[in-house]
Amino acid sequence: MASTTGGIPQLHIGPELRCKGWRQEVLLRMLENTLTNGEHPENLVVYAGTAKAARNHEALSRTIALLRELEDDETLVIQSGKPVGVFKSGFHAPLILMATSNIVGRWATPEHFEELEKRGLTMFGGYTAGDWQYIGSQGIVQGTYQTFVEVARKHFDQDTLAGRLVITAGLGGMGGAQPLGVVLAGGVAICAEVDPSRIEKRIETGYLQRSTSSLDEALEWAQHAVAAGEPLSIGLLGNAAELLPEMVRRGVVPDVVTDQTSAHDALYGYVPIGYDLAAVQEARRTSPDEIRTKARASMVEHVKAMLAWRAAGAVVFEYGNNIREQARLGGVEEAPSISGFIPEYIRPLFCRGIGPFRWIATSGDPDDIAVLDQLVCDEFPSSLAAAWVPLAQKHVQFQGLPARIGWLGHGERARFALLVNAAVADGRLRGPIAFTRDHLDTGGVAQPLRETEGMPDGSDAVSDWPLLNALLNSGAGADLVAIHAGGSGYAGYFQSSGVTVIADGSPEANDRLAAVLTGDTGIGVVRHADAGYQSSIETLKEVGDVKGFVEK
């Protein structure tokens, strides 16, 4: 059996197999890695307050046991974090199929989801928690950095945020990448966070430079750094719904404002004004309606501060955490007018299939990532991935299994994966490489308040595309395919798909990697081309590996 601590499987590395093949072993290690990097692994919670890797501890143990016995021609089926059966499916079929948090449209409400969750019938899988693809804050840091660089280019006509102040909040599993992203982009960040353990964790892992509970001290540090043009990140302990309005009252006007608190869920995520962590946890259990109302009221104050700053000339955008919608529900009619980061800064990349591609060294050996760093720089020297590697090598600590995120586009991902598979086969790498990507990718999600906000043809809420993505990946032979939807705070708001495909050095892996990674980005480019983006149409013509698209 896998070793455990407090019922949580410990991350296994090295050449020893516990499963019947390397593909199964890699998926088991990905599960272990997800929990290793989780915010509250003892509760199986990985990030976003409630996003879990398994429904409960019994389901986790059963999943591990079945995975250890899984044959190469079998598929383990997992329904919202609970294994429900192993089926003979053939050697080309996925080893694991998942569906998580999916509820029929009319019933996809937060209240109904919470009722089902309490009855043990579902769970929230987030994006990469439920399908075991989470690699810690390192998984989002390049995208965060890229966003802030695009902010500098679009609004300040420069390639860095040097001499610019960014105010934000939230230092959890996703938001924890913000301070490092701002610093690497050359700016100064004040990041409000209500949980001191999150601030401590970001400092320990190198994502955050300083911390204080004094607003005066944070502002003094920030003012000196801005004046000197020196990058700096500051974690400010306190409730954002109090701290941000206070800064507005003092006349502080930052250059850039965003937010990554757990605002998607008014019950389980956001901490209302007047509550400490222990009190809010108890209140969520004993008086959920009251805490939801108070949390939403606090988000209203938070968003009013953001709107006040926008009126004062700051660049203000939501970083995809749904706080605009929560504030709208709380009565702030102007909240939806705040820009989202995807249509503002990231969609031009998605149109060309460029997005948060990831590779994980399942041997546990950092030298494997060093080999891949060199490979991506040699083969794709003009890519965002190659530009990112030197920064990541210097500033980003590995968390759990060594991994790298590299923004490669359509055509590039498949080509890179085949080169990696050859490196596994000839022994340059000590073990297999798992390829995944964030669900937040060119074809991986429909979310009208984030990834698909403001599509030019009005297709924001059409969720056929991530479902087609999952079907295509399954037919292409991916090792794991998942279909997720929103949980409590996001119920009814998104549909997404996740994928893992493994380079184990075998000839069969070549076929899987080429087919999966071509189709995975290809369907995303087609989705954007179908919506009318000319750059997507040009990408399809240039790469030439997708037949049959008809230009409108």
Q: State residue 10's pLDDT score.
A: 93
* Domain shared by 515 and 407, yes or no: yes
Tokens of residue 37, six digits:
């990097």
Task: Give me the residue label for tokens 């996809």.
Answer: 108
Distances (CA, A) of 306 to 217, 238, 252, 454: 22, 17, 12, 21
Distance CA 94, CA 78 (A): 12
* Domain shared by 379 and 278, yes or no: no
* Domain shared by 285 and 231, yes or no: yes
Q: State residue 488's pLDDT score.
A: 73
Q: State residue 140's pLDDT score.
A: 87
Whether residue 27 contacts residue 132, with contact meaning beta carbons closer than 8 Å, is answered with yes
**Would 41 be classed as within a structural domain?**
no
**Would 219 be classed as within a structural domain?**
yes
Domain final residue pick, 288, 316, 345: 345
* Domain shared by 289 and 404, yes or no: no
pTM (2 decimals)?
0.90
* Domain shared by 118 and 147, yes or no: no
**Would 47 be classed as within a structural domain?**
no
* Domain shared by 214 and 193, yes or no: yes
**Would 48 be classed as within a structural domain?**
no
* Domain shared by 14 and 76, yes or no: yes
Residue 472 is part of which domain span?
1-36+54-124+351-552
* Domain shared by 214 and 359, yes or no: no
21 φ/ψ angles, rounded to the nearest 5 degrees: -170, 165
H or E stretch at 140: helix 138-156
* Domain shared by 281 and 369, yes or no: no
CATH number at residue 197: 3.40.50.10730
Tokens of residue 23, six digits:
């593909």
* Domain shared by 113 and 190, yes or no: no
Distance CA 89, CA 95 (A): 9
Domain final residue pick, 320, 345, 370: 345
Q: State residue 4's pLDDT score.
A: 62
- 331-379 tens-digit pLDDT: 999 999 999 999 999 999 999 999 999 999 999 999 999 999 999 999 9
Distance CA 323, CA 261 (A): 8
Could you say which DSSP state residue 78 is in? E
CATH number at residue 112: 3.40.1770.10
Distances (CA, A) of 412 to 181, 242, 432, 441: 24, 46, 20, 15
Q: State residue 1's pLDDT score.
A: 42
Whether residue 11 contacts residue 32, with contact meaning beta carbons closer than 8 Å, is answered with yes
Distance CA 471, CA 508 (A): 20
Task: Give me the residue label for tokens 């968003």.
Answer: 303
**Residue stretches of the chain with pLDDT short of 70:** 1-6
When divided into structural domains, the chain yields a total of 2
Q: What percent of the chain is predicted at pLDDT more than 90?
A: 90
Q: State residue 177's pLDDT score.
A: 93
* Domain shared by 153 and 22, yes or no: no
Distance CA 301, CA 280 (A): 18
H or E stretch at 193: strand 188-193
**Would 44 be classed as within a structural domain?**
no
Domain final residue pick, 318, 345, 372: 345
* Domain shared by 88 and 202, yes or no: no
**Would 539 be classed as within a structural domain?**
yes
- 471-515 tens-digit pLDDT: 999 999 999 999 999 887 778 889 999 999 999 999 999 999 999
**Would 49 be classed as within a structural domain?**
no
**Would 133 be classed as within a structural domain?**
no
Return the sign of the alpha-carbon dihedral for residues 386, 390, 395, 399: positive
